[in-house]
Amino acid sequence: MLEKQFDLSKHGTTVRREVIAGVTTFLTMAYIIFVNPDILSTTGMDRDAVFVATCLAAALGSAIMALWANWPIGMAPGMGLNAFFAFTVVGAMGFTWQQALGAVFISGVIFLILSATGIRRWLISGIPASMRSAIAAGIGMFLGLIALQSAGVVVANPATLIAMGDLTTAGTLLAILGFFIIVALDALKVRGAILIGILLITVISILVGASDFGGVMSMPPSLMPTLLQLDIAGALTVGIFHVILVMVLVEVFDATGTLIGVAKRAGLLPDTSTETNKGLGRALMADSTAIVGGALLGTSSTTAYVESASGVQAGGRTGLTALVVAILFLLAMFFAPLAGSVPAYATAPALLFVACLMAREFENIVWDDVTESAPAVLTALVMPFTYSIANGLAVGFISYALIKLMTGRAKEVHAATWVVAALFVIRFAFFVE
């Protein structure tokens, strides 16, 4: 049955190898079941329900990727967009979390249409490589700031806006320790370094009495506080226009880049052209569908995880790897008490480490050409310093188009970039929060 469904022999793999690959991928991305509830619960969402929604959304997305696209790529609510959801859309702009979920749903539907019609590939081909790298790096810096705040390393200061916090408090010290543990484990090639770091700091925190132990396993909590709670009508307001725009753009760049990168590593895209690849087309539809499903369950945008590369490295070549990931996320729902015992300063090191990984994208910016590097740097700087991914994207695209225009190089700007820049100009002119 598995051979027929996943064409194992055709891809030169075995059930054992695929299962090992699936377990490997799960261990590298399972940190999201602790981090996502921690972030989204700041909006007033029920933490336990978000935990279940995260597990279910990851299982649903990974299963669709497995059974429809037959690709070894795990799916789960994405880092970056969950921060945008919580701290920008709800925290800064004042929308309710129900309206924010409505925006996620609408962006998913748009994303689905873009994938089905081929516009998604047109957008990807038209966005400069420097800008794509800057977006990833900027989101990393934004996550880094959130992590440092959560750990108490960075605090507010009326004179300098931000300052160093008290590094002698228990939570801050544990967060710092957690970061170094994760980095060391990753450097030693230990699978699941992020997950191990979170769990170790949680255990130490409980042992020293800094946090309470709620148990390890139980029946899954109720999903009802978030299930179908999205407010689509409330999201269809003028002010949320650029929220949906940002969600779509980040989903386009993040998910597509991950899909293509991991698929090439797995040998699923043997040629340089991705336009006619049947597997890629199905994978694009799979991750688009997962966003809609995640919004209905009650979580921020679901996306393909770059950590899937670890499973590919372990030999994963088919959707059976992703199916194993889906099954493990379903089993993870029974560990809700453990997730509830994880303090914020235990997940902060994970956020900071992810920020470090995303900052690698700076190396792909074309530094020798200031018309490429200046907009890229602006994009990356504006995100953390205005506490908004939306502002970073807007400033980046507008400045890229303007600088090219002012230097007589407007022909280098793809039509897709002009369209996105124009949409953000409209956003600043009429919809600034």
The DSSP 8-state label assigned to residue 87 in this structure reads I
pLDDT at residue 211, as a whole number: 79
- Tell me the three state secondary structure of residue 157: strand
* Percent of the chain surpassing pLDDT 90: 30
pLDDT at residue 261, as a whole number: 66
Segments making up each domain of the chain, as ranges: 13-360
pLDDT at residue 272, as a whole number: 43
At 102-132, the pLDDT tens digits run 999 998 898 888 878 878 777 777 778 888 7
* Percent of the chain surpassing pLDDT 70: 94
* 366 backbone φψ class: left, alpha, beta (φ>0; ψ -120 to 50): beta
DSSP calls for 172-207: HHHHHHHHHHHHHHHHTT-TTHHHHHHHHHHHHHHH
**For residue 25, is pLDDT > 80?**
yes
At 178-235, the pLDDT tens digits run 999 999 998 998 877 888 888 899 899 989 888 778 777 788 889 999 999 998 888 8
Q: Give the pLDDT band of residue 22 (cuts 50, 70, 90).
A: confident
Whole-number average pLDDT of the chain: 85
Least Cα distance to 351 among 170, 168, 182, 213 occurs for 182
User: Average pLDDT in the 12-25 region?
Assistant: 85
User: Average pLDDT in the 245-269 region?
Assistant: 73
At 154-178, the pLDDT tens digits run 998 888 888 999 999 989 999 999 9
- Using an 8 Å Cβ cutoff, are 169 and 152 in contact? yes
Could you report how far apart the first and last alpha carbons of the chain are, in Å?
Answer: 54
Return the structure tokens found at 13.
């793999």
pTM of the model: 0.76
41: Cβ contacts below 8 Å, ≥ 6 apart: 47, 50
- Using an 8 Å Cβ cutoff, are 88 and 300 in contact? no
- Using an 8 Å Cβ cutoff, are 191 and 24 in contact? yes
pLDDT at residue 274, as a whole number: 47
**For residue 365, is pLDDT > 70?**
yes
- Using an 8 Å Cβ cutoff, are 382 and 134 in contact? no
At 311-337, the pLDDT tens digits run 787 778 888 999 999 999 999 899 888
